[in-house]
Structure 1
Amino acid sequence: MTTDLKTAVINASEKWKAAFNSGDAAGCAACYEADAVMVATPFGTYTGHSEIQSFWQNLIDNGFTDVDYLDPDITVLDDTSVLLTSGWKMNKAHGVITRELWVLQDDGTMALREDHFEAQG
């Protein structure tokens, strides 16, 4: 089960990165639970698909792209949830992900319940 959850998170994370890198903010938001919370330091806190999609759309509109994770660490917490932490970089910024909480959904996919990250430049 642990390996399956890790694989599911890797696949879900790759789906999110592909959406962002192709300029698809709706695709990014679809990777979150409906009432997910995203804390983007120093920008603010965003709750739910609409606010989260608007945040990513703004970044995309401002020319941010090419996101990649640096040395991700994936920890299975229990039978349904996985924690991902990582450094990250993109064309115009870099930073750290302090908490991506991925949770198993009824359809067998993983979705973000919490996303805490910091932009450092």
Structure 2
Amino acid sequence: MANRKNRKQCYNEAVSGKIGGIDLVHASNDNDHIINARGGKVYHDITKHSFLEIPDSMEGKVYEVLSVGLQKEGHPIVTVQVGDLVQVYRLPQDYVNWINHLREASVMGIKMLPAKVEFGKRSDGSYYAEIL
């Protein structure tokens, strides 16, 4: 049992730094995931994450978004809370610019998350995220 690391130790070893309060997480070789600052399990293998359910209609779906980030190789991820459950999902690549915008705002001291966010898809096929 002495070799087992607690959640905080694993998290601290996996975080490569912070930008404006947003954790920059990197993969470690000793296990298949880390727990992010919001309590979500972030797998090193992005394919182990399901995509966030985003409706194909103008009426989006609202989630309680705790954090967003870019995983290794620039894959966008989102940490959401549904009731007591905290879950990390993949987002389509279309959300990279939105995540970068939130990161830039955070560096300037503007904290937009956690917040309720509506995710949807416009009639032209483009994705949107609107902080409510």
Question: What TM-score does the superposition give when structure 1 sets the normalisation length?
Answer: 0.28
Task: Pick the structure with greater CA Rg.
Answer: 2
Q: Which has the higher contact order (CA 8 A, sep 6+)?
A: 1
Question: What TM-score does the superposition give when structure 2 sets the normalisation length?
Answer: 0.27
Query: Which structure shows the bigger proportion of residues in helix conformation?
Result: 1
Query: Which structure shows the bigger proportion of residues in strand conformation?
Result: 1
